[in-house]
């Protein structure tokens, strides 16, 4: 009865003694105490058996009381419980165990921050040893001869030869969406993710105006050249789905592989196309405000583009066409174009 988790009253009734006597015997007679006490192992086994019976279902005796006061002993059936069965399967079958969700703590921003901090510390260390060597504080500089790793600078602009090389690689690229995306980046000055995530619903081809709902600087309005708009129009005819530059499955394009094949130089990033676009705006003599509006830069609490709404989009569209025409000339490798070597965007 103890194994069946009977109460003190039930045990006392079974051996025909009072509860007080039962408790006194436990206190005075160690053998009696051990005989009526349940060990942890016994309780665990009882729990396992109870769970098993609940999982497979079982019958039990019960007393049924009728309205007229008559009592009858009946056999009741408790059907199997799926929750109990699942708990047993989880304990004994690995296939039913829940997989713990593994959350990645990786952060590109943190990696860049740590890399910049490391390189800055390395540079400072080399400078300190060089100073000590010059002043005789140290005999030699251990940093001399150590290979310096060059960071991809965000202010990189393409040279004339790199533009030409990019144009040639675009012509031979197997992925049409990737080639169209790179050409669009060159002709629009968009950030990489702005173009990768661009949807047709964001683009008004008639007005050549793009409304991006969420960018690095919030909601942004952009103005496309005729060449950039033509790239979007061609993609709209060629692909199905929402994204202007989809991958093979119709979802977001995996851009890193194609870009590695197309980029003219190993230290060239997609952001260099944006800086090159800004540099061309300056070379062609457009005011800084026009460049900022075409790139979607923020000024104050709103975009610079907002300052042009009272005169319409025509000046911005003309500027975009002029920059795009020069870019197409560079991509084709034509002679007598303004060199961007040494130019720097603001």
What is the structure's pLDDT at 12? 78
What is the structure's pLDDT at 89? 82
pTM confidence score? 0.52
Q: For domain 160-332, give the fold.
A: hpI Integrase; Chain A (1.10.443)
Consecutive 10-residue runs of the chain (346 residues): their mean pLDDT?
62 82 78 63 74 85 85 87 84 70 58 66 76 80 68 69 90 86 94 89 93 84 94 86 79 78 80 92 90 78 42 82 94 62 42
- Residue 125's contacts (CB-CB under 8 Å, 6 or more residues apart) are 143
The domain ranges of the chain are 1-38, 55-99, 107-151, 160-332
- Residue 256's contacts (CB-CB under 8 Å, 6 or more residues apart) are none
State how far the Cα of 337 lies from the Cα of 346, in Å rounded to an integer. 21
What is the structure's pLDDT at 109? 56
- Residue 18's contacts (CB-CB under 8 Å, 6 or more residues apart) are 12
State how far the Cα of 78 lies from the Cα of 84, in Å rounded to an integer. 13
What is the structure's pLDDT at 297? 81
3-state secondary structure of 281: helix
What is the structure's pLDDT at 142? 78
What is the structure's pLDDT at 237? 87
The strand ranges marked E within the chain are 58-65, 71-78, 203-204, 209-215, 218-223, 298-299, 302-303
State how far the Cα of 171 lies from the Cα of 168, in Å rounded to an integer. 5
What is the structure's pLDDT at 40? 59
Q: Where are the alpha helices (DSSP H) in 202-269?
A: 226-238, 256-262
- Torsion 177-182-185-190 (CA) sign: positive
Q: Are 234 and 244 in contact (CB under 8 A)?
A: no
3-state secondary structure of 74: strand
């Amino acid at each position: 009865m103890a194994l069946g988790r009977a109460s003190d009253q039930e045990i006392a009734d079974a051996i025909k003694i009072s509860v007080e006597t039962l408790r006194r015997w436990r206190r005075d007679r160690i053998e009696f105490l051990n005989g009526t006490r349940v060990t942890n192992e016994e309780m665990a086994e009882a729990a396992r058996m109870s769970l098993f019976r609940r999982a497979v279902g079982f019958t039990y005796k019960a007393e049924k009381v009728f309205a007229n006061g008559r009592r009858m002993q009946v056999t009741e059936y408790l059907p199997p419980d799926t929750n109990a069965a699942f708990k047993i399967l989880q304990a004994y079958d690995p296939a039913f165990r829940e997989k713990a969700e593994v959350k990645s703590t990786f952060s590109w921003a943190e990696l860049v921050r740590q890399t910049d901090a490391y390189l800055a510390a390395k540079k400072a260390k080399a400078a300190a040893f060089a100073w000590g060597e010059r002043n005789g504080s140290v005999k030699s500089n251990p940093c001399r001869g150590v290979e310096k790793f060059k960071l991809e600078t965000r202010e990189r602009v393409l040279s004339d030869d790199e533009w030409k090389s990019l144009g040639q690689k675009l012509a031979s690229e197997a992925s049409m969406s990737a080639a169209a995306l790179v050409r669009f980046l060159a002709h629009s000055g968009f950030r990489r993710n702005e173009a990768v995530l661009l949807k047709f619903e964001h683009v008004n081809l008639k007005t050549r105006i793009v409304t991006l709902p969420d960018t690095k600087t919030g909601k942004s309005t952009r103005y496309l050249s005729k060449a950039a708009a033509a790239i979007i129009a061609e993609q709209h005819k060629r692909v199905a789905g929402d994204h202007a530059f989809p991958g093979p499955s119709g979802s977001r394009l995996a851009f890193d592989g194609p870009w590695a094949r197309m980029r003219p130089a190993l230290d060239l990033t997609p952001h260099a196309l944006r800086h090159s676009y800004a540099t061309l705006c300056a070379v062609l003599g457009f005011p800084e405000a026009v460049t900022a509006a075409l790139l979607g830069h923020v000024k104050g609490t709103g975009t610079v583009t907002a300052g042009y709404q009272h005169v319409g989009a025509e000046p911005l569209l003309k500027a975009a066409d002029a920059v795009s025409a020069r870019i197409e000339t560079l991509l084709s490798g034509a002679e007598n174009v303004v060199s961007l070597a040494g130019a720097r965007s603001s």
